[in-house]
């Protein structure tokens, strides 16, 4: 019988839920019919295993929700929900670094929950389906989403490093979807050690 053991890559991508399941996006916010294939292709070609992060917004507000910004989600209840999810994720990934695995986190820049460098932010935003909001660009500014903030805190409490992170810019108004894959590929190259 042939030996079927394979040398593992030692690379794990912690992937924002909606990159693998666009069905969880808020009303009128999906950019793909299902999986963001260009992201999946880049990760597969780069030898990453996938760890799908939970979607904190679906768990808190359900599928039938509208686009909100960080100011709308930043409540004691939502932060508690994100802390619980962050604790669960930390429980599941805490052995990867001790076994030599390299982690990378793929968030959604522009997301009020999973933004890495950019988050949805506005004191005036009412979100879809308000008549004044239809056709308006979703407002984005500098900052980390609430779930990413809580995950970073939880990992810090456990003396674990927050993974190298990339914000896939799907929530940015006017993003060229043809550039998502090449932009991710370049960002991952920059994060490689050495």
Of 77-81, 126-130, 182-186, the one with minimum mean pLDDT is 126-130
Confirm whether 158 is domain-assigned: yes
More confident call, 128 vs 97 = 97
pLDDT, tens digit (0-9, with 9 covering 90-100), for 69-79:
999 999 999 99
Domain count, the chain: 1
Whether residue 167 is predicted with pLDDT greater than 60 in this model: the reply is: yes
pTM for this entry: 0.90
Mean pLDDT value of segment 57-72: 92
Determine the structural domain holding residue 35 and report its residue range: 11-191
Whether residue 137 is predicted with pLDDT greater than 80 in this model: the reply is: no
pLDDT of residue 157: 97
Mean pLDDT value of segment 149-176: 92
Q: How confident is the model at residue 1 (pLDDT cuts 50, 70, 90)?
A: low
Whether residue 132 is predicted with pLDDT greater than 50 in this model: the reply is: no
Of 1-10, 42-51, 94-103, 154-163, the one with minimum mean pLDDT is 1-10
Confirm whether 101 is domain-assigned: yes
Confirm whether 88 is domain-assigned: yes
Confirm whether 145 is domain-assigned: yes
Q: How confident is the model at residue 133 (pLDDT cuts 50, 70, 90)?
A: very low
Q: Which of 184, 177, 194, 144 is nearest to 22 (CA)?
A: 177
Confirm whether 4 is domain-assigned: no
**Could you please report the per-residue DSSP string of the chain?**
----------EEEEE-HHHH-GGGSPTT---SSSS-HHHHHHHHHTT-EEEEPP-HHHHHH-SS-----HHHH-SHHHHHHHHHHHHHHHHHHTTTGGGT-EEEEEEETT-TTT-SSEEE--SS---TTSTTTTTPPPPEEE---HHHHHHHHHHHHTT-PPPEEEEE-TTSTT--GGGHHHHHHHHHHHHS--
Mean pLDDT (the chain) is: 89
Whether residue 27 is predicted with pLDDT greater than 80 in this model: the reply is: no
Confirm whether 2 is domain-assigned: no
Confirm whether 1 is domain-assigned: no
pLDDT of residue 134: 42
Confirm whether 5 is domain-assigned: no
């Amino acid at each position: 019988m042939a030996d079927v053991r394979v040398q593992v890559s030692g690379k794990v991508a912690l992937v924002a839920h909606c990159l693998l399941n666009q069905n969880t996006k808020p009303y009128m916010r999906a950019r793909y019919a299902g999986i963001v294939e260009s992201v999946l292709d880049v990760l597969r070609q780069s030898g990453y295993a996938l760890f799908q992060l939970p979607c904190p917004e679906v768990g808190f507000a359900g599928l039938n929700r509208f686009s909100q910004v960080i100011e709308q989600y930043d409540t004691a209840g939502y932060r508690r929900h994100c802390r619980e999810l962050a604790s669960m994720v930390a429980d599941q990934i805490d052995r990867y670094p001790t076994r030599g695995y390299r982690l990378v986190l793929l968030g959604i820049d522009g997301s009020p929950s999973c933004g890495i460098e950019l988050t949805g932010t506005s004191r005036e935003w009412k979100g879809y389906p308000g008549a004044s909001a239809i056709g308006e660009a979703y407002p984005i500014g500098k900052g980390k989403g609430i779930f990413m903030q809580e995950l970073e805190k939880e990992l810090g409490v456990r003396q674990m490093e927050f993974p190298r992170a990339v914000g896939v810019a799907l929530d940015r108004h006017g993003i060229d979807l043809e550039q998502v894959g090449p932009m991710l590929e370049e960002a991952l190259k920059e994060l490689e050690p050495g």
